[in-house]
Structure 1
Amino acid sequence: MPTSAIDSLVFRNMFGDREVRQIWSDEYRTQCYLDWEAALARAQAGLGLIPQDAATEINRVCKVENIDFSRLEEESLNIGYPVLGVVHQISHLCRGDAGNWCHWGATTQDVTDSATVFQIRASFDIIANKLDEAIAATANLARDHRDLPMAGRSNLQQAVPITFGFKMARLLATFLRHRDRLKEIRPRIEVFEFGGACGTLASLGEMGLAVQEALARELGLAQPDIAWHTERDRIAEAGCFLGLLTGTLAKFATDLKLMMQTEVGEASEPFVANRGSSSTMPQKRNPISCVYITASAASVRQSVAALLTAMDEDHERATGPWEIEWITLPSIFTLAAGALNQAVFVLKGLEVHPDRMRANLEATHGLIVSEAVMMGLAPALGRDEAHDLVYDLCRKALEQNRPLADLLAEQQTVMAHLSRDEIQALTDPANYLGLAGVMTDQVLAFVRMQHLVLF
């Protein structure tokens, strides 16, 4: 019976992803072991190290449906690792003496690490596609809302106006950096392992590197420059990337949760009947996808810390830290892909509420553009004097619940330098958007240039 959120029949598709979960299953991992053993036999037969008939027979039996998982569980519990149990089964399935040539010159960790790299590669393929979906959806939001004014916030307080397109363009730019990161790290990570007992390939003599090179061709993975049995930076880098990616998703989810507050109401998750409803409060529409993203990202973050601990490995073959990866990698990849799924769902159907954005901009009666007024007066009064004057008027506006423009118009010092029309222009949030549109266009132009999104 499943006991984790990523395997639970109830929770697995809330927090996880079906395709990535399957990649980290026992069946998929075991087939990766078998694929590696079959490839090794082909490579060694091609070099004359083992008989071709033996390689053919090994390849015939290296299918996961041939594995007795009950027997594998029992033997793994006894041995401590599953690879040797798999090797025993395929060796016994081979006809004649072909099984004697199985796993020739290899060690358990060669197979395990290579299988992990297979799983990472397959998972990254899926995550890359989902990231492209997120990029496309975010680009559309940035384009469609390029000029939609809203309140920018600092320390949860209204700061100066921005546009919603600018907010989405920042997210888009971050997604693009993650896309670049993933493209950059994959060649470093997608490297198989084959070094034998302590990495020196001593069991194969002078043929060791030739076998390694041939195995690289068979596996479609990069050949290692040297054994990395206890050098775990490749695996840790994969986890750290997912920590960064889910951190970005959590920031987006946090912003949207705050924007969905009843008193704010500037944007909402896509409407689906009964989604986010309460058992006792019929009016509720909770930010469900954001909740899943936040929980998943936090779990990934903590698991990445454990994965970094797995780098602390002793000598040439370690006593324990390696197994941390077995525990954490399935959840890190599954939860990260699940969080990305939730984000794509939200981004594709995000409901934007311009009326609420405008109402919130107007809620302070012009205080959100006090910086614009200060800068408008600064050339005549000096920045410090202008700041102090506007500061005092902002306090009065709050105390008297009056528009800042009215108080400015009552000040002779202000009227000596600004007309009423200039005051109205300075206190209109739509006139103080800076280069938000230009910066949004820069990000969108980069997307178009890279042919990342057709929109």
Structure 2
Amino acid sequence: MIGRYTRPEMGRIWELENKFAIWKEIEVLACEAQAELGQAGITREEAQWIRDHADFTVEEIDEIEKVTNHDVIAFTTCMANYIDADIPEGADKPSRWVHYGMTSSDLGDTALSYQVTQACDIIIDDIKRLGETCKRRAFEFQNTLCVGRTHGIHAEPMTFGMKFGSWAWALKRALIRMEEARAVAATGAISGAVGTYSSIDPYVEQYVCEKLGLTPDPLSTQVLARDRHAQVMAALAVTASTLESIAMQVRLLQQSDVIEAEEPFTKGQKGSSAMPHKRNPITAERVCGLARVVKANAQVAFDNVALWFERDISHSGAERVVLADSFTALDYMFGKMQWMLDGLQTYSAKMEHNLWRTKGLIFSSKVLLALVDAGISREDAYVIVQRNAMKVWEDIQNAVDGPTYRERLEADDEAMALLSQEKLDEIFDPWDFLTRKDVVFDRLQELEF
């Protein structure tokens, strides 16, 4: 991922320095396990020597790989040079125990699993932080009236806090998915060339995995099955979709014709090089754009599941790109969404204004039920409600300052034969829609991240 969209903590996880540091720890732990097991010939003193002297530099590994064309061999060669540097000429080299009985995937896959858990932990923290923000702001706007929209059309009254509340619940689901994906990913394998432990005791795998907080794969072949990685990428993609959905809502709310809320616009910020009046939702748009990358990368992970026999490496180069890029992009998206939603600028007066822009049409469902309650069929009631509503729509469409929906009903003899003025007062009170709204806020109060 390019630096523009990389936050430092996540970026460090995917740097070569971190990857090789994990490789080093796995190789050292394997040596210590072999020494403790006492079957391979390595002594505890040699294992301690290896721990004390094992080292590498990325630059040296790169130079060796130019010759070997094999990154694991380049790494073990580099590390051996450090381990044996102070060993007298002619003496046994402790480095001979490094990578003993292991294959490249034992090292690479187990290390990748550990990297994925590191990255998952950051995303999990991101989700919790944003979820708590949405929950807090939901109660801030618990009683702020606004109009609900379906198909982009004004529907019925709701409160703005319900928007934040729905986002909080979506993030709770994202948290559950991400925690499940982490558990599936936290798996290691040190089982040899095709998973038979032909040259290495299973104790080594158990020892290394336990030290790293991983679970040994029950049957790994040469590699860890890539459905594990696909589940992680799917969780990232769905989470990105959730952030995209929230960001899209902000974009819609910030439209000039709506302007009920907008992302922060800081001092000195510019909206357009050509039109100085503009306040564009560029951060929300950026989040939506990056979500496409994370979602598209999930397809690569799905394609990586199918490998030849016990393994091939058709997945390798692709997943080195998409795992790092998806985690990095999603972490960046969370940073922007946290800034945006924590500082979201809201305009309650505009919400109230928009509630009445359709001249009372949003109360049509209450009128329909009141007419049914008065004793006529739903079909007959629908005709009365709709014929008056369509006249109001026509006025709105043609910018005619005509009667409101209530005034249309009051002029309709058939409607007024069934509805009293007192009933109309009740119907056209937006709070009448919200007498049970606190049910959802009571549920939200119990939500924990």
* Structure 1 length-normalised TM: 0.91
Show the counterpart of 2:398: none
Farther-moved stretch of structure 1 (329-338 vs 78-87): 78-87
**Conserved 8 A contact 2:209-2:216:** yes
Distance 1:33 1:245, change over 3 A: same
**Conserved 8 A contact 1:276-1:287:** no
User: 2-side partners of 1:357 and 1:81: how far apart?
Assistant: 62
**Conserved 8 A contact 2:240-2:330:** yes
User: 1-side partners of 2:417 and 2:147: how far apart?
Assistant: 30
Farther-moved stretch of structure 1 (129-138 vs 216-225): 216-225
Show the counterpart of 1:158: 154
| Residue identity matched to 1:157 | I
1:84 aligned to 2:82? no
Pairing of 1:225-264 with structure 2 (within 5 A): 225-227=218-220, 229=223, 231-264=225-258
Q: CA deviation at 1:276?
A: 5.4
User: 1-side partners of 2:183 and 2:34: how far apart?
Assistant: 25
User: 2-side partners of 1:252 and 1:218: how far apart?
Assistant: 39
Give the secondary-structure state (helix, strand or coil) at the position aligned to 2:178. Answer: helix
Distance 1:127 1:397, change over 3 A: same
Q: CA deviation at 1:74?
A: 3.8
Deviations 1:296-346 (A, max 9, x none): 111100111111111121111214123311121110100011111111111
Q: CA deviation at 1:39?
A: 1.3
User: 1-side partners of 2:263 and 2:54: how far apart?
Assistant: 47
Pairing of 1:296-311 with structure 2 (within 5 A): 296-311=290-305
Give me the identity figure in percent.
25
**Conserved 8 A contact 1:313-1:322:** no
Show the counterpart of 2:414: 413
Pairing of 1:351-430 with structure 2 (within 5 A): 351-379=345-373, 380-400=375-395, 401-430=402-431
1:144 aligned to 2:140? yes
**Conserved 8 A contact 2:195-2:220:** yes
> 221, 232, 238: which one pairs with 2:214?
221
Pairing of 1:326-365 with structure 2 (within 5 A): 326-365=320-359
Give the secondary-structure state (helix, strand or coil) at the position aligned to 1:279. Answer: coil
Show the counterpart of 1:55: 47
User: 1-side partners of 2:287 and 2:383: how far apart?
Assistant: 43
Show the counterpart of 2:125: 129
1:19 aligned to 2:9? yes
**Conserved 8 A contact 1:254-1:290:** yes
Deviations 1:193-230 (A, max 9, x none): 212111111012xxx21222222222221122121515
> 11, 19, 39: which one pairs with 2:29?
39
Runs of 4+ that moved beyond 6 A: none
Q: CA deviation at 1:79?
A: 4.1
* Structure 2: segments with no counterpart, 5+ residues: 88-92, 396-401
Distance 1:153 1:76, change over 3 A: farther
**Conserved 8 A contact 2:191-2:202:** no
Q: CA deviation at 1:232?
A: 0.6
Pairing of 1:159-174 with structure 2 (within 5 A): 159-174=155-170
Distance 1:52 1:333, change over 3 A: same
**Conserved 8 A contact 1:230-1:313:** no
User: 2-side partners of 1:415 and 1:126: how far apart?
Assistant: 61
User: 1-side partners of 2:6 and 2:83: how far apart?
Assistant: 38
| Residue identity matched to 2:136 | N
Farther-moved stretch of structure 1 (77-86 vs 22-31): 77-86
Q: CA deviation at 1:289?
A: 1.9
The CA RMSD over aligned residues, in Å, is 1.7
Show the counterpart of 1:318: 312
Give the secondary-structure state (helix, strand or coil) at the position aligned to 1:312. Answer: coil
Show the counterpart of 2:399: none
User: 2-side partners of 1:436 and 1:241: how far apart?
Assistant: 31
User: 2-side partners of 1:387 and 1:252: how far apart?
Assistant: 35
Q: CA deviation at 1:77?
A: 4.7
Q: CA deviation at 1:418?
A: 1.6
User: 2-side partners of 1:144 and 1:325: how far apart?
Assistant: 42
**Conserved 8 A contact 2:148-2:158:** yes
**Conserved 8 A contact 1:292-1:342:** no
User: 2-side partners of 1:362 and 1:430: how far apart?
Assistant: 13
* Structure 1: segments with no counterpart, 5+ residues: 1-5
Q: CA deviation at 1:126?
A: 1.3
Farther-moved stretch of structure 1 (395-404 vs 123-132): 395-404
Farther-moved stretch of structure 1 (221-230 vs 371-380): 221-230
| Residue identity matched to 2:62 | E
| Residue identity matched to 1:156 | G
Q: CA deviation at 1:413?
A: 2.0
**Conserved 8 A contact 2:60-2:78:** no
| Residue identity matched to 1:393 | N
1:105 aligned to 2:94? no
User: 1-side partners of 2:210 and 2:393: how far apart?
Assistant: 72
The structure showing larger relative contact order (alpha-carbon pairs under 8 Å, at least 6 residues apart) is 1
Show the counterpart of 2:205: 212
**Aligned pairs, number:** 432
Deviations 1:175-195 (A, max 9, x none): 111122222332221111212
The higher radius of gyration belongs to 2
User: 2-side partners of 1:209 and 1:175: how far apart?
Assistant: 39
> 195, 202, 218: which one pairs with 2:198?
202
Q: CA deviation at 1:20?
A: 0.6
**Conserved 8 A contact 2:109-2:224:** no
Give the secondary-structure state (helix, strand or coil) at the position aligned to 1:413. Answer: helix
| Residue identity matched to 2:327 | F
Q: CA deviation at 1:78?
A: 4.8
User: 2-side partners of 1:196 and 1:27: how far apart?
Assistant: 25
Farther-moved stretch of structure 1 (219-228 vs 170-179): 219-228
**Conserved 8 A contact 2:188-2:224:** no
Show the counterpart of 1:3: none
